Amino acid sequence: MSTEAWTLVAEGEEAAIFGYGVLTAELAGAERTRALSATDAHRVARDRARAALSAQDLNPEVPAAFEVPTLTNATGAMAVAAAIELRLTDLYVALSASTQDADRKYASQTAQETTARAVMWGWEPQAFPTALADQKAPVPATTTSQGSASSPNDGAKIE
């Protein structure tokens, strides 16, 4: 059970790193600095997820490319950043329920960090944070042909 949750977290963190790599180009000043700092945090989190999987002798394949909505300005970039973070909140909530002790603590603390970052990107707090209905977070490019639900109409495939 925890294997699946860690795998989703590892993939979600890869998508986050990829997405921030695209959206950071639209940002300047303090927002750019914040995006770079978030990217670092997601690299550390990705490495932790992969380490947890390696400890189970697992090295799941990571998608080589993700689909990111087309970005034309800083506002759009911040909306995607918020979506990235909230999607991870869901993945860490799921991880918390399928792990114990130190791993559960880590999952809870990381869910708090991702949700707090979403607020810094302009998302309004909610009682029960969850991924945005109009999903803007990057999704693996290999799965976007499976359904329009995870494939924004204005999405651009970036490889």
Partner 1 sequence: MSQQAPTPRRRMPWARGSVSRRSVLVAGGLGISAGLLGCSAPSIPGFTSDPDEEPKLLTVASEQELIALYSAVIAAIPNLAGALDPIRTQHTQHLSAIAADLAQAPEPAPAPTVPANRAAALNLLRKAERTAARLRTETAVVAEDTEVIELLVRIGASEASHNAYLQKINA
Q: Does 9 bind partner 1 (CB under 8 A)?
A: no
CA distance 159 to 144: 14
Question: Which of 152, 38, 23, 31 lies closest to 80 in space, CA to CA?
Answer: 23
Q: Does 48 bind partner 1 (CB under 8 A)?
A: no
Binders of partner 1 among residues 59 to 118 (CB under 8 A) are 89, 92-94, 96-97, 100-101, 103-105, 107-109, 111-118
Provide the edge-to-edge strand list for the sheet that holds 66-69. 139-140, 66-69, 155-158
Q: Does 39 bind partner 1 (CB under 8 A)?
A: no
Burial class (CB in 10 A: 0-12, 13-18, 19+), 68: buried
Q: How far is the CB of 156 from partner 1 (least distance, A)?
A: 29
Contacting residues toward partner 1, per CB under 8 A:
1-3, 52, 55-56, 89, 92-94, 96-97, 100-101, 103-105, 107-109, 111-120, 123-130
